[in-house]
Amino acid sequence: MPMKHSPGTPSIYVACLASYNAGTLHGRWIECDRSASEIRDEIKKILKQSSQPYAEEWAIHDYRYFGSVRLSEYECLDDIAAFAEAYEEWGELFSELVNHCGGLSQLDRAKCLLQDEYAGEGDSLADWAESFLEETGGLENVPQNLRSYIDFDSYGNDMDISGDIFTLEVNGKTHVFWNR
């Protein structure tokens, strides 16, 4: 399983909607490397500090360090906190995998894929395919001087097209997952 650290702590900019509707900006950045209840407490503080009466509603107006994942204004804070924890461990690969699975509501599926179905990485699919065949004994009867004649690119592409694997390109590497 890959370990890739993120470039920064996933954070959301939470704005008070009462202030926003009154034509002023009131809000602040909240780092999401904490529990959802701690994020909720920070939001309550933001609303309490608003100059507007009845400041009870909020929205996410910006975010950073979520990789390719896109957040809505009213994203589930439990999902945000869970994503931030996993993103710290796995980085951009996790973000791409979350997108592949369908968004933040699919965090558990993305985690399972990383933990149970990750098949490795290579500089290309051909590079991964050659390593895979080497590790699984598929090349043990092929003399070294004949290996350059094997089309590892076609072998990897056939695995991808047949649905045995799927790939994600992240930071110049091809990451391979089993499709089980």
The residues facing 14 across adjacent strands are 28, 60
Domain spanning 118-178, CATH class: mainly alpha
pLDDT-based confidence at residue 180 (cuts at 50, 70, 90)? confident
For the chain, what are the domain ranges?
11-90, 118-178
**25: Cβ contacts below 8 Å, ≥ 6 apart:** 15, 19
Q: What is the pTM of this model?
A: 0.84
User: What is residue 5's predicted lDDT score, i.e. its pLDDT?
Assistant: 54
Element (H, E) at 63: strand 58-64
pLDDT at position 6 over 70: no
Predicted pLDDT at 8: 86
Task: Tokens for 139, please give them.
Answer: 């090349």
pLDDT of 103-113, one tens digit each?
A: 999 999 999 99
Rg (CA), the chain: 22
